[in-house]
Structure 1
Amino acid sequence: MLPPSGPLAGIRVVELAGLGPVPYACVLLAELGADVVRVDRPGGGTQLVPPERDALNRSRPSVAVDLKSPAGRDVVLRLVESADVLVEGLRPGVTERLGVGPDECWARNPRLVYARMTGWGQDGPLADRAGHDINYLGLTGALHAIGTAEAPVPPLNAVADFGGGALFLVVGVLAALLERQTSGRGQVVDAAMVDGASSLVTMVYGLLGAGRWQDRRAANLLDGGAPFYGTYACADGRHVAVGSIEPQFHAQLLAGLGIDPGEHGGQFDVARWPEQHERIAAAFATRDRDEWAEAFAGTDACVTPVLGLTEAPSHPHLAARGTFADRGGHPEPTPAPRFSRTPGAVRGEPRAPGQDTRTALAGWGFGEDEVTGLLEAGAVVQAD
């Protein structure tokens, strides 16, 4: 595990391990330089991906702690004493029942930022209900706006889990750390995926309120309704993405496709959009995807190939920026954003639950004999 480096170097984070957006948020913090220790349940971990391949487990050590035991609870509270942030993603009230809620942590460290990640939030009628990205997204209006005219299409779990959840939690943590410089006190950050996902469609709600958005799919500027903003199938069955919104870019699109602007009609003549869509689709269907990509490569028509997950890392632009790195023959995204003086970095391979219990606790001030006693009592576990 590389030492912390990056703009958050010197910030210490205790992560109570959870699913999806919690580990992603902590990957971001760790690769921006924070010293993050992941607290897993003994024998914990997701079954979706083997621990050694789970990119969400990278860049920070793991200790396995039995939080249901008094000694295990005290381990977390000891970690909190020297931490700046605690991140948890359990259902509301669980950490309080375990004895590691905000009040117990602030009794040890009043400067601690206590960051909570849930789907529905810490309060409200649904706070205690289970859910997943698609459920949070469905409640915000965003899912209703994404997809074909026939049905909504889940945008992976990127919008609510990782966008509305993890990214908003990181923003909240950074803001709370900045505010602490003035007040000297920590506070709770309540990052609810349903709130963050709603925020991400602020612009669309603004367009709706201004009468510039129809509350149905595939009928608007950015949802595939406009013929100049969407995807088109090519002769080989692969697709291109078209985003020629501005008139000057739209003109280059038509020129590249060999379409007469006079015959095509006005770009924003909504009544002619179905006809225009058919004309553009017919043109793209005459050549393969990569042929079209090459034809438009030197233009501002905003036409790009839709690349598969196995293709994207080798695209010349992404390769030039080092957007992906190879790990064990498989591509993984590298840290973002970039910093000119204090760059972040992937700090280490994914760690299995409890793989670093001894070394990580030692790095946070636990003595060797103390760790041995905790292991013998079963309060912590060292994985093989």
Structure 2
Amino acid sequence: MTTPPTATDKAGPLAGLRVIEMAGLGPVPLAALMLSEMGAEVLRIERADAREPLLSLPEAYDLDRHGRSILKLDLKRQDGQELLLRLAEKADMLIEGFRPGVMERLGLGPGIALERNPALIYGRLTGFGQDGPLSRRAGHDITYLAYAGLLHAIGRQEAPPAPPLNLVADQGGGAMMLIAGMLAALFQRSRTGKGQVIDAAMIEGASMLAAPIHAFMAAGLWSDRRGENLLDSGAPFYDTYETADGRHVAIGCLEPEFFAEFARLLPLDQRFVRSQYDRASWPEMRAVIAARIREKTRDEWVDVFGPTDACVAPVLSMTEARDHPHNSARQSFVSSGRLERPAPSPRFSQAPQTLATAPNAADRQPATVLACFGIDESEIEALVRSGLFGQ
């Protein structure tokens, strides 16, 4: 795979699409990054008086700003609000992640925005949705997982629930569901010519990710108690084990044929193969597997299991993962200046990927940004003199 083109050389299936991103934290910037790397032109609107985020990164590493042009706009002023609406008239999409009511109080809610541009797709991402008793409450990934019943299900039986970074509610249930909704609305607009509002809620998106688990529970095949099930460390053949060097391997041989291969190579007594799904055998099976795994280092086990379908993998650190032969062969990680990061995903056969890079000086100049939206030079100069834009 060749190195993807940079955001200054836009390509991809969304080339020509214009997106306005209302700057915020969490999954909305990830969604904007992905849309940019699919070829969309993304304008990030930052509040002129915005505070520095809790985790402030140097721009070279700040993926929340890569791949965009940036306009710092005073949205407390009526002329700032009017300018944003004019930009929305020329946009295909707008995405925002504020609490319900914030955009309406600014005079920028979907009602007025779609009145000005009926084809606009207006994406809204919140923790709890646009309505409901909790809709205006603050929260983070761990909060939404707790209310969704999913945090209770993640972790070991004898330990407290384990936060899964912020990958499940924020990024999976949030950014991915927002993108899915926006692209579905884009397809519908291609047939109707009309835009619409997307109400994406992280609590509901995370719950949707767990739809198969709910189905298993309904069928009586899944316990609502943590650490007792096939995929939550309850099964000894779907878990992690410590190796002789204090590192770990991940074992995931759920299917009988894969478990049989695992047992042959470990080796594990055939009586466990015959009773793989007999829960009464699991405590002894786990103890035997744990003792055997501790006899070799992680990489020695890789030599044993690597060429097979026993579904045993080394637990790599994030740094190690970048250099793994498979990831190297597929160029799954790329360099962007000083930043080594995951390559744009997914891949498309008919369009090269666009690698988002840090914005340059022109990307942050109101004159450059506004000219792209058809605003003439004299008006831009007047707006700049008025102090509407932040530094």
Specify the TM-score bucket, using the shorter chain as the normaliser.
over 0.9
Aligned pair in 2 of structure 1 residues 351, 52: CA closer, same or farther (>3 Å)?
farther
CA contact (8 A) 2:260 2:273 kept: no
Match of 2:30 among 24, 27, 30: 24
Name the counterpart of 1:311: 320
Q: Secondary structure in 1 aligned to 2:341? A: strand
CA distance in 2: counterparts of 1:313 and 1:278, whole angstroms: 33
Counterpart check, 1:94 vs 2:102: yes
Q: Secondary structure in 1 aligned to 2:346? A: coil
CA distance in 1: counterparts of 2:137 and 2:148, whole angstroms: 16
Match of 2:341 among 332, 342, 348: 332
Counterpart check, 1:221 vs 2:230: yes
Residue 61 (structure 1) shift: 1.3
Aligned residue-pair number: 382
Moved over 6 A (4+): none
Aligned pair in 2 of structure 1 residues 221, 252: CA closer, same or farther (>3 Å)?
same
Q: Secondary structure in 2 aligned to 1:311? A: helix
Q: Deviations over 1:254-291 (max 9, x none)?
A: 11212221266511011111111111111111111111
Q: Secondary structure in 2 aligned to 1:155? A: coil
Counterpart check, 1:15 vs 2:13: no
CA distance in 2: counterparts of 1:52 and 1:361, whole angstroms: 24
CA contact (8 A) 2:17 2:40 kept: yes
Bigger CA drift: 121-130 or 326-335?
A: 326-335
Q: Which amino acid aligns with 1:234?
A: T
Aligned pair in 2 of structure 1 residues 115, 367: CA closer, same or farther (>3 Å)?
same
Counterpart check, 1:212 vs 2:242: no
CA distance in 1: counterparts of 2:338 and 2:370, whole angstroms: 32
Q: Deviations over 1:41-100 (max 9, x none)?
A: 125352412333112321111110111111111121111111111101111111111011
Residue 195 (structure 1) shift: 0.7
CA contact (8 A) 2:24 2:98 kept: yes
Match of 2:168 among 159, 162, 179: 159
Q: TM-score, normalised to structure 1's length?
A: 0.96
Name the counterpart of 1:242: 251
Aligned pair in 2 of structure 1 residues 237, 329: CA closer, same or farther (>3 Å)?
farther
Counterpart check, 1:37 vs 2:56: no
CA contact (8 A) 1:4 1:347 kept: no
CA distance in 2: counterparts of 1:321 and 1:349, whole angstroms: 24
Counterpart check, 1:62 vs 2:75: no
Residue 347 (structure 1) shift: 3.3
Residue 9 (structure 1) shift: 1.1
Counterpart check, 1:46 vs 2:48: no
Q: What pairs with 1:196-207 in structure 2 (closer than 5 Å)? A: 196-207=205-216
Q: Deviations over 1:170-226 (max 9, x none)?
A: 000001111112222111100100110000000000000000001111110111111
Structure 2 residue ranges without an equivalent (≥5): 1-6
CA contact (8 A) 1:264 1:276 kept: no
Task: Give the root-mean-square deviation of aligned CA atoms.
Answer: 1.7
Q: Deviations over 1:288-335 (max 9, x none)?
A: 111111211110001111111111111111111111112344420111
Bigger CA drift: 327-336 or 6-15?
A: 327-336
CA contact (8 A) 2:9 2:354 kept: no
Question: Among the aligned pairs, what percent are the same residue?
Answer: 50
Counterpart check, 1:129 vs 2:137: yes
CA distance in 2: counterparts of 1:137 and 1:220, whole angstroms: 19
CA distance in 2: counterparts of 1:351 and 1:260, whole angstroms: 62
CA distance in 1: counterparts of 2:26 and 2:59, whole angstroms: 14
CA distance in 2: counterparts of 1:89 and 1:279, whole angstroms: 49
Residue 350 (structure 1) shift: 5.4
CA distance in 2: counterparts of 1:280 and 1:221, whole angstroms: 16
Counterpart check, 1:5 vs 2:15: no
CA contact (8 A) 2:98 2:125 kept: yes
Aligned pair in 2 of structure 1 residues 30, 329: CA closer, same or farther (>3 Å)?
closer
CA contact (8 A) 1:119 1:194 kept: yes
Bigger CA drift: 260-269 or 114-123?
A: 260-269
CA contact (8 A) 1:51 1:351 kept: no
CA contact (8 A) 1:53 1:350 kept: no
Structure 1 residue ranges without an equivalent (≥5): none
Name the counterpart of 1:187: 196
Name the counterpart of 1:361: 370
CA contact (8 A) 2:33 2:356 kept: no
Residue 351 (structure 1) shift: 6.8
CA contact (8 A) 1:54 1:350 kept: no
CA contact (8 A) 2:155 2:162 kept: yes
Name the counterpart of 2:4: none
CA contact (8 A) 2:20 2:88 kept: yes
Q: Deviations over 1:320-365 (max 9, x none)?
A: 111111234442011111100113211322579x834332222222
Counterpart check, 1:140 vs 2:148: yes
Name the counterpart of 2:121: 113
CA distance in 2: counterparts of 1:362 and 1:348, whole angstroms: 21
Bigger CA drift: 270-279 or 1-10?
A: 1-10
Counterpart check, 1:77 vs 2:85: yes
Q: TM-score, normalised to structure 2's length?
A: 0.94
